[in-house]
Amino acid sequence: MDDSEINSEYYYKNHLLTTVKEDGKPYLLFGIPYNSDRGANIYSFTGKENIKTVRLNIQKKNFDIQEIRFNKYKKKSQSELDRIYKERKEIVDAKKTKYDSYPDYNFIIPVDGIVTGVYGTQRYYNGKKGNYHNGHDIAADTGAPIYAPSDGKVMLTGHYYYNGKFVMMNHGNNLISMFLHMDDILVAKGSIVKKGQVIGSVGNTGLSTGPHLHWSVLLNNHYVDPLALVNKVKVKLDN
């Protein structure tokens, strides 16, 4: 949206839209929800005094399908379930925490390695449709450095049940990156990080089957393809 009156915050379903600045002008960066229907979609952005609606024609991208077979889940204990619940809540709270800064949304790839998973793949677990893959996987040796893809502030780190050791970074105005399954974390909550700075190393912690980085990126609380920010594609809208 190129509108010089973007001087207040806009929300999409209660989630802050990221405002970026280019050539001194503010723009809203919107992450299209993965499950949007093909064809015309109307999205409403709520500001302090007005609501902006944007009509986007969505084309379906054909994502790959991946079959994953495993032996029956081990039933989780009550203490594991409690832990997962608590960790989920901490993540939700950290995602909502604001960091007022215009992001540099021209990202660099955080790990030098081999791509083993891409954004959007529809996963089937033992034949049952599951979640889509919400990030970009890069395999590398345990201990390989992970570089911040852009400047940002560390909002949360931890060693969680699913994520393993992870870092959540807010690149500014709630453009968020998550780095999962790390071996070592070299930044602390609240640190301001520079693009290219080493934030930790590749590992195999949490729900992971080999050393790799799972990197996911969120805009307005929706996962987007991290590579869209590495190879920025600009779409001009008329309204």
**Where along the sequence are the contacts to Zn ion (CB under 5 A)?**
117, 135, 137, 214
Nearer CB in complex with Zn ion: 117/206:
117
The residue among 176, 151, 181, 177 whose CA lies nearest residue 166 is 181
Nearer CB in complex with Zn ion: 135/203:
135
Residue identified by tokens 């081990």 is 74
Nearer CB in complex with Zn ion: 171/212:
212
| Residue 181 C-beta: closest distance to Zn ion, Å | 8
Q: Please give the residue whose beta carbon sits closest to Zn ion in the complex.
A: 214
| Residue 94 C-beta: closest distance to Zn ion, Å | 19
The residue among 185, 144, 145, 135 whose CA lies nearest residue 164 is 185
| Residue 136 C-beta: closest distance to Zn ion, Å | 7
| Residue 135 C-beta: closest distance to Zn ion, Å | 5
Question: d(Cα 111, Cα 206) in Å, to the nearest integer?
Answer: 19
Nearer CB in complex with Zn ion: 26/117:
117
> What ranges in the chain are assigned the alpha helix state H?
78-96, 227-230
Report how far apart the first and last C-alpha atoms of the chain are (Å, whole number). 7
